[in-house]
Amino acid sequence: MESDAGVLLVAGDFGVAERAQEWMAGLREAAGEEAVLVICLGNHDHWLQGAGGCLTPEDVREKFWRPACGAHRIHCLDFGNVSLPGITICGGYAHYDFGFADPDVLEGSRRPTAADYQSGRFGSLVYPDMDRIPGLALADEAARQTKAISRRLSQACDDGKPVLFATHTIPFASMNTPEAPRGSAPRFFDAYSGNSAIGSLLSAMATSIALAVSGHSHRRTPLLRIHGIPCVNTGSGPDALRFLLFDLQTLSVSPFPKE
């Protein structure tokens, strides 16, 4: 499978942070020495197998991902925008602010509480990030992500070029396609799908956004237009890698390979 695309953008979830150098070396080798490589991080990229001396997600990014990206000439949107001829690429991990939680979730006679969402546990359901990402109980990562992405997005819009915006988690609820019926217990996990505050940022700057792309849920959505912004969830996952082609001339997106 080959393409003449000049830039490869990967929206997160390579694997545990301690293997960042290995992941980035593999990405560079696969793409070739001349390719422009751009990534943002995912929740799995903040997982640690050991403590690693990290107390917060920011510690994980700085200790493992910044040096790995620097060593292999890979642009990471969590550290800054990428300005290219005709386009600025902006984004980051984004995390989740529980803004997309299904209010009708019920298991037996019980509904999840704020404490359940914060702990990642509801009945027999467990969301693993809370045990594997350091510091989630100590700091509001969603607010920190929103503040940093807001700053970078303002800078990108100030460039005057169209903005390709990439986050790992989704900015709009309609970019998720849950498999379970509304109100059922598995919809507990909807709360971890995205950051609704990022969606508000995008909506305020909609005229500058050429495309907003995300992944995380592993469930693909068709190209949607939300508040005037073309949006797509790639649905890429470990068992089904999916790619999109974004045309800088027409600012259009299509599946690759064509379906």
Average pLDDT across the chain, whole number: 92
Place of tokens 């830039």: 7
Q: Establish if 234 belongs to a structural domain.
A: yes
Query: Residue 159 sits in which domain range?
Result: 7-256
Asked if pLDDT for residue 96 goes beyond 90, the answer is: yes
Query: Is residue 200 one of the residues assigned to a domain?
Result: yes
Residue 242 falls within a domain, yes or no?
yes
- Which of the four pLDDT bands, split at 50, 70 and 90, describes residue 218? confident
Check if the beta carbon of residue 53 is closer than 8 Å to that of residue 128: no
Residue 2 lies in a domain: no
pTM of the predicted structure, to 2 decimals: 0.94
Pairwise pLDDT comparison (193 vs 251), residue with the higher score = 193
Instruction: Report pLDDT digits (tens) over 15-44.
Output: 999 999 999 999 999 889 999 999 999 999
| Contact criterion met (CB below 8 Å) for 209 and 202 | yes
Spell out the SS3 assignment of 134-157.
CCCCCCCHHHHHHHHHHHHHHHHH
Q: Is the dihedral of CA 112, 110, 216, 256 positive or negative?
A: negative
CATH at residue 246: 3.60.21
In a domain, 66, yes or no: yes
Q: Which residues pair with 79 in a beta bridge?
A: none
| pLDDT higher than threshold 60 for residue 247 | yes
**1 domain residue, yes or no:** no
Per-residue confidence (pLDDT) for residue 201, from 0 to 100: 97
Q: What percent of the chain has pLDDT over 70?
A: 96
Q: Quick check: is 155 in a domain?
A: yes
Reported as a single tens digit per residue, the pLDDT across 76-94 is 999 999 999 999 999 999 9
Q: Is residue 43 part of a domain?
A: yes
Q: What is the pLDDT of residues 114-168, one digit of tens each?
A: 999 999 999 999 999 999 999 997 779 999 999 999 999 999 999 999 999 999 9
Over residues 58-71, mean pLDDT: 97
Q: Report the pLDDT value the prediction gives residue 178, as an integer from 0 to 100.
A: 80
pLDDT higher at 236 or 228: 228
How many structural domains does the chain have? 1
DSSP labels, 37-88: EEE---SGGG--SS-TT--SHHHHIIIIIHHHHHHTTEEETTT--EEETTEE
Q: What is the pLDDT of residue 47?
A: 96
- Expressed in angstroms, the distance from the first to the final Cα of the chain is 13
**Where is 246: in which H helix or E strand?**
strand 243-247
pLDDT of residue 249: 84
CB 211 within 8 A of CB 231: yes
